[in-house]
Amino acid sequence: MLISACLLGRPVRYDGKGKPLADPLIERWKAEGRLVGYCPEQAGGLPTPRPPAEIEGGKNGDDVLAGRARVLEVTGGDVTEEFLAGGRKAVAFAQEQGCEIALLIDGSPSCGSSFIYDGSFSGTRHPGFGVTAALMRQAGIEVFSDLELDKLEAHIKSIR
């Protein structure tokens, strides 16, 4: 399964840090060789660190894909194309690796899968998903957030 690289502790987030997900399931999946780390934002050409970004003008990544919303940095820079490119590369990479599942960090305008921020940079969250999560779903890859490990484990058991 593809996993957001930051969840493996890699320092790829906008703030130059990782956000390691410490859980026995992660450790087991790592030991079993199931996890393939990837950062779509870096793959799209964004630097680390980088200004925080949020989806503006829409509710989720589908709106960005349809051209109804864009991804803006807190500085006002439009990074929509970088998010789209990174998401497409993430899907291609997942498919090359045979990944049928993606475990993505929630809240991200790229990887969020149950909530994202509302585009106001005020810390306000709303239900939604990011650009990469939208592209993964369109490609038929099952998407789970870092808050859904039990649900993911049940899914894995159901398809074995």
Q: Decide: helix, strand or coil at residue 4.
A: strand
Give, to the nearest 10 degrees, the angle between helix 24-31 and helix 149-159: 40
pLDDT at 160 over 90: no
Number of domains in the chain: 1
Cα–Cα nearest to 63, from 145, 142, 126, 148: 126
DSSP string over 91-155: HHHHHHTT--EEEE-TB-TTT-SSEEE-SSSSS-EEE---HHHHHHHHTT-EEEETT-HHHHHHH
What is the C-alpha separation between 98 and 75, in angstroms, rounded?
A: 37
- Amino acid, single-letter form, for residue 146: D
Four-point Cα dihedral 43, 84, 75, 117, nearest 10? -100
pLDDT in tens, 77-125: 999 999 999 999 999 999 999 999 999 999 999 999 999 999 999 999 9
Domain that holds residue 95: 2-159
Q: How far is CA 87 from CA 22, 74, 84, 100, in A?
A: 25, 20, 5, 15
Q: How many CB atoms lie within 10 A of CB 83?
A: 27
The tokens for 103 are 């475990």
User: Averaged over 127-153, what is the pLDDT?
Assistant: 97
User: Averaged over 59-78, what is the pLDDT?
Assistant: 97
Q: What is the pTM of this model?
A: 0.97
Four-point Cα dihedral 136, 138, 144, 146, nearest 10? 40
pLDDT in tens, 19-54: 999 999 999 999 999 999 999 999 999 999 999 999
User: Averaged over 145-153, what is the pLDDT?
Assistant: 97
